[in-house]
Structure formats: C-alpha cells, structure tokens
Chain A
Amino acid sequence: MHLLRQPKEKIQVFSNALLNAKSKVGQCKRCFHLTAGEECEICLNQQRDPSVICVVADSRDLIALERTREYKGLYHILGGLISPMDGIGPDLLNISHLVNRVDRENTKEVILALTPSVEGDTTSLYLSRLLKVFVKVTRIAYGLPVGSELEYADEVTLSRAIEGRREVE
C-alpha cells in the first residue's frame, strides 16, 4: 500500500486531516444530509420550497438529484433502505423523524425517490402507507431501466402507475 511507504510524520498529518474532516462533517438535524453546521445549505436556503420533501436513501442520491437542477423542494435522508437480511429494520432508519417532520412542518407533499429494487420498493410501500393518511405521497416515475426486459418493465411501470394513482386520491 502506498501509505505504508510514506514517512511517519506524513501519515500523522494525513490521519489528523481525516479526523478533522470527520469531526467537522455531521448530519443536518432536519434532513440528515451531510453538513458542517447545524442545518445543511439546502434546508437553510430561503429560495427552496419547504412544503415538499423528497425522500432519498442517502446523500449520494441527493447529490445526483441536485445535479438535475429540476427539484426545488427539501430532502429527507433515510440513511439506507429496509433490508432485514442486512439487519436493517425501519427502526434503524430516519423514518420516525420523517413522520414527525411531516407533521411538524405541515408538509404538503412527500416524493419518494428510492431505487426500484426489492428493498427500495419495500421501503417506499412502507412509507407511503405510514404517510398517506395525512399527506400527499408520490413516487418519482422510473423509465425503462437499462437492459431490462420490455414485458416485465411494462408490468412494473403499470403497477407503479396503479400504485401512484391510488395514492393521489
């Protein structure tokens, strides 16, 4: 490994830098995005619409969505997806915070932007069932995933459409 061939002092400097970065970067207390302060830049930005919350699995997804420059609302980071196989139940994700937040902030709409995997769909269905009694819940529309079979994708798309329609009511 490259690091092992460096003089001891250099490694010390490097590891201090890592420790500093770690201690400075924390989580936004409102949306759990990475931030050096109490709240993240997005939550503090007055230009953004606080009545819409987009739910994503982690900060990487947020960054990807931000790149599109389409979305103007706020976010909520779950910190993962429900996956009992990996020992992750709803209690280990920022789900109760989300429910409280939606209630407290008088949110108008929650947009679920989770991958269409088993874990993503399970989490989406779980959240929509918890939330739809007091807020409008929508899911972002997925196009055909690359390399997917047309028939199956059509069925999936269809099922999403049905699922989505049910929730708008």
Chain B
Amino acid sequence: MEKRLLVIGPNGVGKSNLLESVELLGSLRSHRSSSDQDLIHWNNDSAIIRAKTSNDENLSLEFRKVGGRKVLKNGKQLSRHLDLLGSVRCVGFSALDLNLVRGEPLLRRSWLDRVVQQLEPVYGDLITRFNRLLRQRNQLWRYWKDSEQANQDVLLDAFDVQMALVSTRIHRRRNRALKHLQPLAAKWQKRLSKGNEDLELNYLPGSALEGEETELSWRLAIEEQLAGQRNDEERLGSCKVGPHRDEVSFLLNGSPARKFGSAGQQRTLVLSLKLAELELVGATFREPPLLLLDDVFAELDPIRQFLLLEAVGDDHQCLISATHLDAFEGDWRRNSQILELERQQDGILEVG
C-alpha cells in the first residue's frame, strides 16, 4: 500500500466520515462529534466501524442508540474499551483544530492528554480517577450547603490526600510529554515557516509544583495548597488547585500565538504540534502512527501548502482528504493512492 492515501470528493460525500472512523478506532474519540448519538443515522439503531489492520487484527466499534458502545477485537468483545487503543495509532488534524490555539485551556489539556494517553495507556485511569474525585469534591460543598456537619475538615483531608497523589502523577506526565514535544514541534514550525518562526511550548501547571521534582515533594506541596484554598473553594464552589486548571502556552518568536499569531501561523502551529506528536508516538512504538489531514489544505496559503506536502508522507502513512486534486502536484500525486468518493445510497463506505 502507498504511504499516502488521498481521499477526493465533493463536500458531504463522506470523506470526513472515513477519516473520523480511523480516528475513532485510534483514540475512541472524534474531534467532530461530541456525542455518540451524532454518529448514528436517525433512521438506524446503531452505527458500526469495522477495520482490518496491517497486523491482521480485526477491529469493530459499534455505537448503539441504546446500550452504548460495543468494542470487538478479533471477534472478542472487550469489556474495557480502552484496551482497543494501541491497535491503530493515529494523529489527526482538521480545520477545527485551530481552537487548540485560540480556544479554551480545556482544549489544550485534552490535546496533551491524548498524547500522553498514546504513550501510556494507564494514563486514562489517572484522568478518570481525578475527574471522579473532583466531581465528588464539588458535590460535597453542595451537600453541605443544605446541612452543616461535623468533621467536614476530616472528609476534606481524605479528598486532599487522594487528589494530591493523582494530581502529582498527572502533572508529571503532562510535563514530561511537553518536554519531549517541545524540540520536535519547534523543528517542524521552523521547517513549515521556512525558518522564520521559533516555537516554544510552556507548561503552566494548575498547582504550584514546588520543591524537587519528586513525587513526594510535589504531592506534599499540592496537599498543602489544597488545604489552604478551602475558604475560597467554599465561597466559589470549585477547587482552585490541580491539573484541571493546567494551561499550555504557545509562544511564536516570543509572543503568545493565541493573541498575536496570524491565521496562517496558528494553522502551522497546530500542524507542528501534530507532527511532533506523530514523531514522538512513532519513536516510542517504532511504528509511526497514521496522520489524518482532514480538509486542511484549502486553509493554507500556497507556500505553506507546498511545505506541508513536502513534509508529510515520507516516514509515515497519511490519509488526506480534499475536495479537489489541484493542490497535489507532480511527484507527490504520483506516489499516492487516490480514492475518489461518490455519493453513497446505503450508508456503507468500504475502503480496501
């Protein structure tokens, strides 16, 4: 199979569905759909994605209107959906991803989490645990609004101890991943901007990570901060310390890209992040992940288009969707497999 697969077709024909299917198999998430219900045709009870990997694994991911998701690997149902991860590794980029630079900190945290998750599948358990602790803790204040109770501090201590431990582990992993991504992303940004742009990634943790970078010293520091913010927390109803308040800043030539970057610079920045992720994940598993580029070329000026095309598809397999073939010139097109999609009637899209 060629390294590059071009998916060409008019809007609404299902190009994005194809890329989204690969993304769902690789990450169990979709950047386009926030709810599984959106993935299911209104007239059907379920939607199903089936795939066979080059390692001869048969994967199936079913979304049901009733009963949620059903995940099968080689015909066996997986009780833990996370166990599907690792069969297909992919890194996606779509026009919507500009929000990674422009949008809420939450989007940058989710991006970073997705990177860490690919490197360490156990990370998902930490995030799940932390989110549950945080929800329970926030509910606790509401519970106490109705009735003041004895030993409130004792119960808060119980939360602090657990949250400090899980927070430390999340902070360490996010910090570590960002440190690994930094030089790679900077390299790509330079290349895709013809040497004009220096990119810097900074981790701004939601807890003050004081003392040595050891689990014990960070944990104790966070425990102290959690205890110290209780009055504010009671007043505001939310916890002020922890990885749920992490932020990542992107600096281009020393200035925040969010405020001062042009649209083209911001797009290139997101691409650089994704390519860095691709490289990092690829180096860790010796098998580079798939790169998914969903309708991004139209958004770039011709020079950046050219630089991007030059950069992708040599070391890793990539799936690219576009409405027209025009952007893909000469050698590049010749070394690619081209799939032209036409309107489908039955809702089944098969690619082999």
Judging by beta carbons under 8 Å apart, are B162 and A118 in contact?
A: yes
Cβ-defined contact, A84 with B143, below 8 A: yes
A contact residues, range: 20 to 34
- CB <8 Å contact, A83 and B136: yes
B76, chain A: closest CB distance, angstroms:
14
The answer to whether A129 and B136 touch across the interface, beta carbons within 8 angstroms, is no
Q: CA separation between A84 and B147, bound complex, in Å?
A: 13
Quick one: CB contact mask for B138-165 with A, threshold 8 Å, 1 for yes? Answer: 0110111001010100110111011001
0/1 string, B35-52, CB within 8 A of A gives 1: 000000000000000000
At the interface, yes or no: B316 with Cβ under 8 Å from chain A?
A: no
Q: Which one of B122, B132, B144 lies within 8 Å of A151 (CB-CB)?
A: B122
A108–B126 alpha-carbon span in the complex (Å): 36
Given contacts A90-B155, A147-B80, contact A159 B147 (CB under 8 A): no
The verdict on A126 contacting B126 (CB below 8 Å), with A85-B136, A87-B143, A118-B132 known, is: no
With an 8 A cutoff between CB atoms, is A61 at the interface?
no
Task: Report A41 CB to chain B, min CB distance, Å.
Answer: 33
Residue total for B at the interface (Cβ-Cβ under 8 A): 30
Residues of A127-163 at the interface with B, using a CB-CB cut-off of 8 Å, are 129-130, 147-149, 151-152, 155, 159
B169 within 8 A of A: yes
Partner of B154, one of A89, A121, A129, A159: A129
Interface of B is mostly: helix
In the complex, what's the smallest C-beta–C-beta distance from B11 to chain A, in angstroms? 42
Going nearest first, the 7 A-B pairs with the smallest beta carbon separation are A125-B158, A149-B122, A84-B139, A84-B140, A126-B158, A84-B143, A152-B122
The residues of A with any CB-CB pair to B shorter than 8 Å are 82-85, 87, 89-91, 118-119, 121-122, 125-126, 129-130, 147-149, 151-152, 155, 159
Apart from A89-B149, A121-B162, A155-B169, list 12 A-B contacts with CB within 8 A.
Answer: A84-B139, A89-B140, A89-B144, A91-B147, A91-B149, A118-B132, A122-B155, A129-B157, A129-B158, A147-B80, A149-B122, A152-B126
